[in-house]
Amino acid sequence: MTLCRTRTHRWAFGCRRTQFVMAVLLFSTTVVVKSLVSLQTSTRVRGKNKHEVFEFLATPANWPTIVLSSWEVRGNAKDRLLKRRDVVAEIFGLPPVLPLSVEWQCVEANEKKGILDMRSPSGVDGLASDCRMLFEIQEDQDKSSTISVQLTMEYVPNNWLAQFAIPILTVDNALALKVLFPNALRSAGRTALNDFRSLMGVLYGVAGLAHLADCVLGSSQLLQASGSAGFYNLPLPGQCFALLWCAAGPVAFVASRKGVGDYGLIAYGAIEVTGAGFLDATAATSIAIVDGVNPLLNAVAVQAIVGAAWLYASQKKDKPEPLSR
């Protein structure tokens, strides 16, 4: 009898504890759903005036060049300066794996006040509502030719995923405003160089995917032509470096679309030359060298041509164009 009572008490205590935990979780979930998340990021831009900064930010087509998670903006107003009541749709996330979209309406676009206020009551379906993107652009009173930009992002999370995304959004906003935005603003109007970066990004992206298919699914002809063994005959460090070489192409493509194309080109070139140098040092009797093709010299020559083309494009004078059409 005593044993039965003890088991009964333990069972009752366990039930009450479970109910308490569930109540706490339910209360916490309710609090999360009802809480407004507000994220602020600021930066200073030198060498540009307030008009140039406002015009760039108020042209939605420029957003994907400065926001790492943004891929496309759709709508009739995407290529021009936003006006009050204009509506555009922004595609972001990781399409096609995780395609997300939000429909922004311009509530205020006042260059004189330095205010660009975009809102989306419906937000992101199933994730967040009452979204807001507020840019405040002001001339720095202490320093001439310096513009202060503050971004305030707000939303109401509708589930735990949106709550957990806060650190990711914080990093994404900081990277956009402090790194990608100043770089894209400096590059605005340099059509020839931007076209070159875009072209090389596409070429390197396609090359990286072709290398990956050849290594993993094919007979590693590209590797063997440069004096290397086949992918599956390489030691583990060699396979890892080959995969890094393949990944450098798509990374260069993404970088060219995010206003940091030069870094993608440099990274791809450095990885390619490093790999060729390793082959040159360890495969002195390779087929490629016997046939008269030195992998290191070949890689250096290719990168020299890319560098010369970059210099030519950077020196080419473009006709001045407005940041938006």
CA torsion 42-58-37-95 (nearest 10°) is -110
The pLDDT of 194-221, averaged and rounded, is: 87
**What is the reported pLDDT for 292?**
55
pLDDT at 313 exceeding the cut of 70: yes
Distance separating alpha carbons of residues 138 and 112, to the nearest angstrom: 9
Percentage above 70 pLDDT, the chain = 80
Cite the DSSP H helix spans in 283-294: 287-290
Cβ partners under 8 Å of residue 170, min gap 6: 39, 41
**What is the reported pLDDT for 218?**
86
**Domain-by-domain residue ranges, the chain?**
34-187, 191-315
Distance separating alpha carbons of residues 254 and 17, to the nearest angstrom: 51
The pLDDT of 160-167, averaged and rounded, is: 88
Joined tokens for residue 8? 């009964």
Asked if 75 and 118 count as a contact pair (C-beta separation under 8 A), the reply is: no
**What is the reported pLDDT for 279?**
76
Flag the least confident range among 89-98, 147-156, 254-263, 275-284: 275-284
Fold classification of 34-187 is Alpha-D-Glucose-1,6-Bisphosphate; Chain A, domain 4 (3.30.530)
pLDDT band at residue 80 under the 50/70/90 scheme: very high
**Residue 260 or residue 144, greater confidence:** 260
The pLDDT of 19-24, averaged and rounded, is: 47
- Rounded to 5°, the CA angle 62-138-68 comes to 30
The pLDDT of 80-108, averaged and rounded, is: 91
Cβ partners under 8 Å of residue 54, min gap 6: 111, 114, 116, 137
**Residue 203 or residue 26, greater confidence:** 203
Give 173-191 pLDDT, tens digit per residue: 999 999 889 888 877 656 7
CA distances from 211 to 83, 126, 158, 243, 262 (A): 46, 39, 42, 9, 21
pLDDT at 33 exceeding the cut of 50: no
Distance separating alpha carbons of residues 120 and 107, to the nearest angstrom: 10
pLDDT at 232 exceeding the cut of 70: yes
The pLDDT of 291-318, averaged and rounded, is: 79
Asked if 255 and 263 count as a contact pair (C-beta separation under 8 A), the reply is: yes
Q: What is the DSSP letter of 87?
A: E
Asked if 283 and 249 count as a contact pair (C-beta separation under 8 A), the reply is: no
**Averaged confidence pLDDT in the chain:** 81
Distance separating alpha carbons of residues 117 and 107, to the nearest angstrom: 5
Asked if 200 and 265 count as a contact pair (C-beta separation under 8 A), the reply is: yes
**Residue 130 or residue 227, greater confidence:** 130
The pLDDT of 57-71, averaged and rounded, is: 91
pLDDT at 276 exceeding the cut of 70: yes
The pLDDT of 8-29, averaged and rounded, is: 47
Asked if 185 and 179 count as a contact pair (C-beta separation under 8 A), the reply is: no
